[in-house]
Amino acid sequence: MHITFYGAVREVTGSMHLLSTDRDRILLDCGMYQGRRKETAEKNHVLPFDPAMLTNMVVSHAHIDHSGRIPLLVKKGFNGHIYCTRATADACAYLLPDSAHIQESDAEYLNYKTVRSALSRMRPDKDNGTSKKDLKEIKRLLKKGRHGLRTEAINDYLRQFHLQGVEPLYTTWDAEQSLKSFEGIPYRHPVSIAKDMTCTLFEAGHILGSAVVMIRYGNGEHKRTICFSGDIGRYDKPILKDPSSHLNAFADTIDLMIMESTYGNRDHEPVIDLKPKLKKVLNDTFDRGGSIVIPSFAYGRTQELLYVIHELFDEKEVPSMPVFVDSPLATNITKVFGEHPEVYDAEAHETFLAQGKNPFVFRQVQFVESVEASMALMREEKPHIVISASGMCEAGRILHHLRYKIHNPKNTILIVGYMANHTLGRRILEEGTAYEMSGRKGDPPIVKIFNKEYPLEAKVIKIGGFSAHGDRNEMLRFLKQSELKIKQIALVHGEEEQSLAFAEFLKMAGYEAFVPRVGQIVSV
């Protein structure tokens, strides 16, 4: 059996690995690259193999950097089954069409800008600049209302003027078609995924439905076992069960462990500190008369925040203030959480379910659906909490909340998750933190949102306890508690310095670990 490492290799996003035998080919994850628009667009459009040659695939969990290119895979000829947990299948039913809609909207907007620019250059007196009257006329031709675009007219101009338009990676229709291939399976239930090959999924503790993937191939002395960790979660966090332990009951020896290393050189704040730190941020901001803006992943992080805020309100530890979830996707994903209480941990059952309460729905919370309601919320000046996608501040409604709140020192921008390199979220985190550490001396940092500059005067605070990824000690704990005999570990899903550092950390703990390169093939 051969394993080829194609994605999330010496970087965090784009998870994709291929298992090949003489007869079959199984894909592990089909994630989207995230980061700089041009760079990631080029990488996302290229699949390093013919999708039609794949037998089946297994998805560790529904985050877009693990599932986001599945519609492209199906569009280009994949016709096998996609195995995952039932919760992951339910979440992908919302996440993939949402990803397609974002891509379609981005493509339409970029094409609008291309045509608008071309029409401006074609004016007879273009050397004197475009007048307000001309701009108004151009917008009338290309837009309907304040926010709508005349897509057909824009496409006609692209063809007429032979302009290079932008195509989405896949459409909503493509995403919906791909959902027909999903096969949700329960944890700890082996299924056949190829000739003489079975797959068993175990709780990973990362997000709802996340799985550690155990693949067994062959029989007798020719048997081989591959374990793919997916993303390993933290221990003792709210809602979900801890990462699975005692996996040796299902496999004796692991020939190759493919393991994440997102935080391979870091130690997180203790989970026990999470609630008191959130309490302090909410109380301090409320006392200043400000609001809290929380960029949050729609899947997992939003629900954890709602859970802890619900606890704080019930315990009367923070003032009762409105909580807005401004993300249609987060609203839908919260419904998925509500439909899978079987994966909750004992504490969630005791704290909420046994009391007849929904952990994610309470008196103060409002789920914002329409664009109009979101626009009104942006202008709200009374203290409130807004949780909005996307987590890395690269797109979505969060950008509008930031541009209205970022320049007011009364407000807080609360960072509760990983911010990849070259994202707006990373810039806000790094520059805002540096400004706080300087004692807020001198001019505040300047950040660009929608090509307009804003002073970063709001307080920027990070709470690391919300991370859905285990740190190096928690990942080592997973390995030890699995009680597996592991021959070698391939470290993926981490920026290069994190992966290399984690390899050294594991070697000191007695494991044989290495960091593969893109396209590298390992035989077992």
Instruction: Summarize pLDDT for 204-225 with one digit per residue, the tens.
Output: 999 999 999 999 999 878 899 9
Residue 517 in this model has a pLDDT that exceeds 90: yes
And the tokens for 449? Answer: 């949102």
Mean pLDDT score across all residues of the chain? 92
pTM reported for the whole predicted model = 0.87
With cut-offs at 50, 70 and 90, classify the pLDDT of residue 30.
very high
And the tokens for 188? Answer: 């700890």
Nearest alpha-carbon partner for 516 in 480, 485, 488, 477: 488
Q: What pLDDT score does 423 carry?
A: 87
And the tokens for 135? Answer: 């701009």
- Report the alpha-carbon distance of residue 238 to residue 349 in Å, rounded: 11
Domains and CATH numbers, the chain: 2-96+179-267+469-523 (3.60.15.10), 271-466 (3.40.50.10890)
The distance from CA 186 to its chain's CA centroid, rounded to whole angstroms, is 23
The answer to whether residues 194 and 216 touch, using CB atoms and an 8 Å cutoff, is no
And the tokens for 54? Answer: 């794949």
Q: Which of 162-171, 180-189, 462-471 has the lowest mean pLDDT?
A: 462-471
- Report the alpha-carbon distance of residue 455 to residue 477 in Å, rounded: 43
Instruction: Summarize pLDDT for 404-454 with one digit per residue, the tens.
Output: 999 999 999 999 987 877 889 999 999 999 999 999 999 999 999 987 899
Q: What pLDDT score does 125 carry?
A: 56
